[in-house]
Chains A and B, each alone.
Chain A
Amino acid sequence: MCNSGRSRVQQAENDQGVNPTEALIDIQSLRKEYPGLALPAVRDVSLSIQEGEIFGLLGPNGAGKTTTLSILCGLKNPTSGHLAISGFGYAGDRQVIQRLIGVVPQEIALFPKLTAWENLRFFGNMFGLTGAVLKARAFELLDQFGLAEFRDKQIGTFSGGMKRRVNLIAGILHHPRILFLDEPTVGVDVQSRNMILNLLRGLNQQGMTILYTSHHMEEAADLCTRIAIIDHGTIIITGHPADLIRQHQVPNLEHLFLNLTGRNLRDEC
């Protein structure tokens, strides 16, 4: 899986060259300070992600993954730095970007008192989808995620894995060109995780560029065309998972991760 993804990117790089300005997502020297926080949550993060990639942003707790993603989604303004999505910035072209992206937040951002279908209808409407088109799309996704029979049940009654799946569907209803996911597989069982990862691969094959965060090294190694490891708000390393493992002569990504980020707990932040 990993190889096929990489070959696609290589192809993209051959087609487009490696000019970073051509990247679909381009961030340069991004910095985010929170009031009351001694150190910046994100400092000097630069990334350039090409169309068609599945990019994994990996890091321990409090590394700055969600903060980076929030800036990419336009939910937070960076303290400094540059950001362009398909060449557009939030300052002038917020709406344009918002039509390009889909977001799957870390928390279950759904209405627990509404049914799965009612939630999806609402978020679909927010994207301007209505009527039969919306219904067909939502039902198709619910079906793909094995939730067809639960569509008229309230989200509050769902298991953690089911909620995660609906949370994901709500972000891809409108077929975004770019999908941001913040730990989409946290707290789900192996079956749910497989289903989610397979669906992400499917979406990627249809042309969706995916940026996702995770703590799961194996999952990332398997899924991503490229990864970046972030710690203390800084990107430590970027590359193709297999290349990184080879270069650093470690048995797997988890070893590399621990070597780079240390073994200390990150609860102190």
Chain B
Amino acid sequence: MLRFRASIFKEILLLIRDRSGLAILFFMPVALVTIMALVQDAPFRDYQELNIPALLLNQDEGAFGEQILARFDSSRMFDILEITGDEQALKKKIADGTYDIGIVIPPGVSDYILAQSNGYAEQMMRDLGMPVLPSELPGIDSTKQVGIFFKPGVKQSFRQAVLQAIRQESSQLETATLIRSFKTILGAEDDGEQASDFGNFVAFRERPVGDEWLEARQTNSVQHNVPAWTMFGMFFIVISLAGSIIREREEGSYLRILTMPGSYLTVLLGKMTAYLGVCLIQCALMLGVGVFFLPLLGLPALDMQGMTFLNLALVATSCGLAAVGFGVLTGTICQTHQQASTFGSVSVVILAALGGIWVPVYVMPAVIQSIAEWSPLFWGLNAFQHVFLGNGQFQPIAAYLLYLQLFFLCCVGISLLINRARQQA
């Protein structure tokens, strides 16, 4: 126990003495989290709340124009600016590139819909043999088409989505109008209900295949980036830990310790404990940035609603152990600082890429996905997400914790074997 305590104490002293190294260990990940969350804010919004700048030229004076406007206003998809003037003016603005889409609702569309639905209703009644005062079914009027104009270069998928949204609104209004026409003909009182839910008998379950749970919840840049770069930052201690191991080997204190009674593992455990402490402080710092600092920059705060302290502590410790184990292995395998910093940084970047730190794993090709599931950063990131957004259960993170801890044990085990082999060589 004395040797263990002495090793922790020595390591802490060494860490504190290396001010710049320590500053890098803490400052770099914090900068990384902040910058990444800011940089990826826009791309994430693409999928979430677009606020696409849109123009609306509403020449209709009835319900249709109003409803389209209300609908787009309330959705976070569009940032609608209503303009007056004519179609040419609107087209010109779209062509300028300031606005992505422009919608033109021609005059009298509402009346047209009403006339159409009245006509259909009467015709149907007549077909059923009901006595109805004859009225004319107006023909299709091409001047009543809703015009939708897109900025050049707008993606086809996006155009489809916008068209779909307007079509849906239009058909709901048509259905509601039709029902009202029937009611009028049948002499029922118009209670003013829009029957807007009409037509939604069939509901849809929309779910991505894969880690649907996660994808559905990674609602913004902060929610993805904070845990992702926290993992990445924690793994970057690999370089300084490996450096410390190599330095002690070069300086000879490692050999001196080997000539002393007791197992080297005790000393190594002390070193690992100190570095684990660094990892945990890094983690706390970066989560703190997510919760308190990023909102100051206009980003959403990190959502940790599902968190229990115990789960967070378990995940953070397991991730830290995995990082520390990898650092020990790197320091053991690599002969020089040069090797360690190159191998350490490249391997951490590869593990991070595979782990879904940059690009979510579910958009990767199938082959890569199956490899990705072996990255400790993948386990760590998923475990963090489950802790933040789950409902406090332990079960979803259990497997990840196990993998991370096994990874740690393997790394340390292999390192000890390598050390032993070297000594015997």
Residues of A that sit less than 8 Å from B by CB: 34-35, 73-77, 95, 98-99, 101, 103, 105-114, 118, 121-123, 125-128, 130, 154, 170-171
Question: Measured between C-beta atoms, what is the minimum distance from A90 to chain B in Å?
Answer: 11
Question: Measured between C-beta atoms, what is the minimum distance from A211 to chain B in Å?
Answer: 13
Q: Complex formed: what's the CA distance from A256 to B259 in Å? A: 34
Among residues of A, the one whose C-beta sits closest to the C-beta of B252 is: A109
Contacts of B209 in A (CB 8 A): none
Among residues of A, the one whose C-beta sits closest to the C-beta of B420 is: A77
Contacts of B259 in A (CB 8 A): 73-75, 98, 101, 103
B425 near A126: Cβ-Cβ < 8 Å: no
The stretch that binds A, out of B13-21, B123-131, B197-205, B350-358, is B13-21
B256 near A113: Cβ-Cβ < 8 Å: no
Q: Complex formed: what's the CA distance from A154 to B424 in Å? A: 34
Given A113-B14, A113-B18, A114-B14, residue A107 in contact with residue B252 (CB < 8 A): yes
B257 near A118: Cβ-Cβ < 8 Å: no
A128 near B255: Cβ-Cβ < 8 Å: no
Q: Is B196 an interface residue (CB 8 A)?
A: no
A99 near B18: Cβ-Cβ < 8 Å: no
Q: Is B258 an interface residue (CB 8 A)?
A: yes
Question: Measured between C-beta atoms, what is the minimum distance from A127 to chain B in Å?
Answer: 6
Contacts of A171 in B (CB 8 A): 256
Q: Complex formed: what's the CA distance from A118 to B262 in Å? A: 20
Contacts A35-B425, A75-B258, A118-B10 known; list 8 others, CB within 8 Å: A76-B423, A77-B424, A105-B255, A108-B252, A114-B10, A125-B3, A128-B2, A128-B3
Q: Is B260 an interface residue (CB 8 A)?
A: yes
A127 near B13: Cβ-Cβ < 8 Å: no
* Chain B interface helix/strand/loop/mixed: helix
Contacts of A122 in B (CB 8 A): 6-7, 9-10
Q: Complex formed: what's the CA distance from A35 to B7 in Å? A: 33
The listed residue with most A CB atoms (<10 A of its CB), out of B14, B251, B256, B267, is B256
Contacts of B171 in A (CB 8 A): none
A interface footprint on B242-265 (CB within 8 Å = 1, 0 otherwise): 000000100111011111111000
Question: Measured between C-beta atoms, what is the minimum distance from A65 to chain B in Å?
Answer: 15
Question: Measured between C-beta atoms, what is the minimum distance from B273 to chain A in Å?
Answer: 15
A121 near B6: Cβ-Cβ < 8 Å: yes
In the A-B complex, list the 9 residue pairs whose CB atoms are closest, starting with the nearest: A109-B252, A125-B6, A98-B261, A109-B256, A107-B252, A113-B17, A103-B259, A126-B260, A122-B10
The listed residue with most B CB atoms (<10 A of its CB), out of A99, A118, A122, is A122
26 example contacts (A-B, Cβ-Cβ < 8 A) are as follows: A75-B423, A95-B261, A98-B259, A98-B262, A103-B256, A105-B252, A107-B251, A108-B251, A109-B255, A109-B256, A114-B17, A118-B13, A122-B7, A123-B256, A123-B260, A125-B5, A125-B6, A126-B257, A126-B260, A126-B267, A128-B2, A128-B261, A130-B2, A154-B17, A170-B256, A171-B256
Among residues of B, the one whose C-beta sits closest to the C-beta of A100 is: B261
Number of interface residues of B (CB under 8 A): 27
Given A105-B256, A123-B256, residue A111 in contact with residue B10 (CB < 8 A): yes
Question: Measured between C-beta atoms, what is the minimum distance from A231 to chain B in Å?
Answer: 24
Q: Complex formed: what's the CA distance from A2 to B183 in Å? A: 126
Q: Complex formed: what's the CA distance from A109 to B3 in Å? A: 18
B252 near A114: Cβ-Cβ < 8 Å: no
Among residues of B, the one whose C-beta sits closest to the C-beta of A115 is: B13
Q: Complex formed: what's the CA distance from A103 to B255 in Å? A: 10
Q: Complex formed: what's the CA distance from A76 to B425 in Å? A: 7
Among residues of A, the one whose C-beta sits closest to the C-beta of B254 is: A109
Among residues of B, the one whose C-beta sits closest to the C-beta of A76 is: B423
B251 near A126: Cβ-Cβ < 8 Å: no
Question: Measured between C-beta atoms, what is the minimum distance from A170 to chain B in Å?
Answer: 7
Question: Measured between C-beta atoms, what is the minimum distance from A95 to chain B in Å?
Answer: 5
Contacts of A111 in B (CB 8 A): 10, 14, 248, 251, 253
Given A103-B259, A111-B251, A114-B17, residue A125 in contact with residue B2 (CB < 8 A): yes
Question: Measured between C-beta atoms, what is the minimum distance from B254 to chain A in Å?
Answer: 8
Question: Measured between C-beta atoms, what is the minimum distance from A94 to chain B in Å?
Answer: 8
Contacts of B258 in A (CB 8 A): 74-75
Contacts of B2 in A (CB 8 A): 125, 128, 130
Contacts of A35 in B (CB 8 A): 425
* Interface hits, B1-42 → A, CB 8 Å: 2-3, 5-7, 9-10, 13-14, 17-18
Contacts of A125 in B (CB 8 A): 2-3, 5-6
Question: Measured between C-beta atoms, what is the minimum distance from A159 to chain B in Å?
Answer: 17
Contacts of B262 in A (CB 8 A): 95, 98, 126
A109 near B10: Cβ-Cβ < 8 Å: no
Among residues of A, the one whose C-beta sits closest to the C-beta of B9 is: A122
Q: Complex formed: what's the CA distance from A35 to B422 in Å? A: 11
Task: Tell which of A76, A109, A121, A154 touches B253, judged by Cβ atoms closer than 8 Å.
Answer: A109
